[in-house]
Amino acid sequence: MNPMLSSHQQRTICSQLGIVRLELLYKASIHGFTGAAFHERCDTHSPTLSVGYNDSGYVFGGYTRKPFSKSGQYMYDDQAFLFTFSGEMLLKYPVTNSSYAVYMDPDSGPDFGGALTLVKDSQAKVSGKSGNRYSYNAADMHGNNLNLTECEVYQLKVAPEFEKPWRLVIWESEKRTEMMDSIKLYSPMVSSVSQVRVLLIGPVGAGKSSFFNSINSVFRGHVTNQASTGCSASSLTTQFRTYSVKAGRGGQPLPIILCDTMGLEEDKGMGLSVEDITSILNGHMPDCYQFTPYTPLKSSVAGYCKSPTLKEKIHCVAFVIDGSKISIMPTKLEEKLAAIRRIVNSMGIPQLVLMTKVDETCSFVAHDIRDIYRSSYIKEMMQEVSARLSVSLSCVIPVKNYSEEFELDMNCDILLLSAIIQILRSADDYFDELSDRLSNIETKD
C-alpha cells in the first residue's frame, strides 16, 4: 500500500511524537469504508495515527496511544490529540477531557470521543463537533467538508537501535588529548596560509555561534560564551565575525579560524544573502561587517578587501543543521541551501555538514551520547541531511554543542574534536587540489 500522507507530512507529525516511524495498517479505498474493515485491520494495534482526506484538500485526523476495539466504551488517554495541516504547518488540538478521549464504536472507524469520527456508520464521511472533549474550529479542521475521499490509519513504531556502532569512535581521554595535540600541530599545506578559514553557514538557531563557543571551550578547559547565542526567531549574529581559537587561556592561536555569519531564513530578503556569501568565499568581507539583507556588501565599504590573497579566502564550508528540525525543514530554505551549495561547488571549496542538537533529536542519545552511532534514528536523520543537501554521508558529522552545561564532558569534546579533524582534512584536500592546478599551469608554461 502506498501512503497518501506525504513524506513531509509524515516527518512533521513524527517530529511531534519522538523517535518513531509510521506503518500503514488500513487504507479505506483498498480495505473498504466500513467499521468492520477498519476494526479487522487496526484493533489491538497502538499507538496509532488516523488520517482523513476530503475533496477540498484538507488533511486531518487524530492520535491515540490506546488500541482500538469494538467494546462500545470510552477510553482514557491524556496524550491524545486531533490535528490538521495548514499548508506545511501542523495544527494540534489536545484532548481536553482525557476520560472521553477515544470511543470504541464497533460500527465506525476511528472515533475521538465523538469530537471527530472518520468513516461514520460505515460510510465515507466525517462526523463530530468541537466541545468539551476536544476544542477546534471546524472550518480550520476540514473546511466543513464532511465527505471523505480517503481514510488511513498508521501504527507508530519505535525506531530500533543497532547492536554495534556503525562508525568507530574511541571514547577515551587519551584519544581526546591525541586529537587536541593533532589540531595544535596542524599546518596548512600551502606556506602562504597559516590558518584554515572555515565558513559556518546555517539556518537561524542551528548552532553556528554555539559551535565556535564549544570548540573554544574544549581548548580553554571550561565552557565559554564568547560568541552571542540564544533563542530567537531572527539571527542573533548580525555581523560577519572571524574567530581564532586559542590553545588555552592566553595561548597561541590554533591553525583554524571559524567564520560566523548571520543565519539563513527561508523568506527572500531575510537573513544572510547569497551575494554576501559569495563575497565571504572570495575573501572580500572585512571582520565585524554589519549585515544588511537587502543591501549586499559593496566595494566602497570600509575594510573591503579588493585583492584578497589565498589566506583571506574560505578554505572549507561547514553547513550547520539542527538535527531536531531536519524533518520539518521548509522547502524554501532547502532551495536556498541548494543555491549556496552550487556556488561553493563552482569554486571548488570542500563542504561538510555539522548536524547539531543530537541530544534533542534522539532521546536514546540524550541518555548517553556514546550511543550516537548506535541510534538508527540519528543515522536516518543523517541520511536525510545527506539526501537533502546532496552531500556524501561521510561528510555529515553529528555533534553536541555546549548550551546549558557549566563543565566540559569528555564525550562531547571527542565529537567536537572529530568534527574539527574532518574539517582540517577537507582543507588539506582543497590545498592539495590547488597545488595540483598550479603545477599543471607551471608545466604548461
Let me know if 177 is exposed, middle or buried by CB neighbors in 10 A (0-12, 13-18, 19+). Answer: exposed
Both 387 and 275 in a single domain? yes
Determine, yes or no, domain membership for 164.
no
Final residue belonging to a domain, choices 135, 158, 181: 158
Both 179 and 146 in a single domain? no
Both 358 and 226 in a single domain? yes
Range of the domain at 145: 7-158
How many angstroms separate the most distant Cα atoms in the chain?
Answer: 88
Both 223 and 346 in a single domain? yes
Percent of the chain whose predicted confidence (pLDDT) is above 90: 66
What pLDDT sits at residue 254? 94
Both 254 and 297 in a single domain? yes
Closest to 232 in 3D by CA, of 255, 210, 252:
210
Least confident of 3-17, 261-275, 361-375: 261-275
Classify residue 55 by its DSSP letter. T
Asked if residues 410 and 176 have their Cβ atoms less than 8 Å apart, the reply is yes
What pLDDT sits at residue 57? 95
What pLDDT sits at residue 233? 47
Q: Look at residue 327 and tell me whether its pLDDT is greater than 80.
A: no
Q: Look at residue 34 and tell me whether its pLDDT is greater than 80.
A: yes
CA angle 298, 300, 306 (to 5 degrees): 85
Determine, yes or no, domain membership for 2.
no
Condensed to tens digits (0 to 9), the pLDDT of residues 403-438 reads: 888 899 999 999 999 999 999 999 999 999 887 776
The CATH number of whichever domain residue 276 belongs to comes to 3.40.50.300
Closest to 394 in 3D by CA, of 351, 346, 342:
351
Helix (H, G, I), strand (E, B) or coil at 304: coil
Per-residue CA distances from 375 to 16, 327, 391 (Å): 18, 16, 21
Determine, yes or no, domain membership for 284.
yes
Both 87 and 15 in a single domain? yes
Total tally of structural domains belonging to the chain: 2
Condensed to tens digits (0 to 9), the pLDDT of residues 273-325 reads: 888 899 999 999 998 888 886 788 888 888 899 999 999 999 999 999 999 88
Q: Look at residue 336 and tell me whether its pLDDT is greater than 70.
A: yes
Read off the pLDDT of each residue in 205-220 and give the average, rounded to a whole number: 93
Determine, yes or no, domain membership for 379.
yes
Q: Look at residue 383 and tell me whether its pLDDT is greater than 80.
A: yes
Per-residue CA distances from 89 to 16, 39, 328, 443 (Å): 12, 30, 9, 58
Both 177 and 46 in a single domain? no
Final residue belonging to a domain, choices 108, 131, 158: 158
Both 89 and 202 in a single domain? no
Let me know if 88 is exposed, middle or buried by CB neighbors in 10 A (0-12, 13-18, 19+). Answer: middle
Closest to 332 in 3D by CA, of 398, 247, 267, 274:
267
Q: Cα 367 from chain centroid?
A: 19
Both 116 and 198 in a single domain? no
Least confident of 43-47, 360-364, 380-384, 423-427: 360-364
CA angle 244, 248, 249 (to 5 degrees): 95
What pLDDT sits at residue 211? 95
Q: Look at residue 247 and tell me whether its pLDDT is greater than 90.
A: no
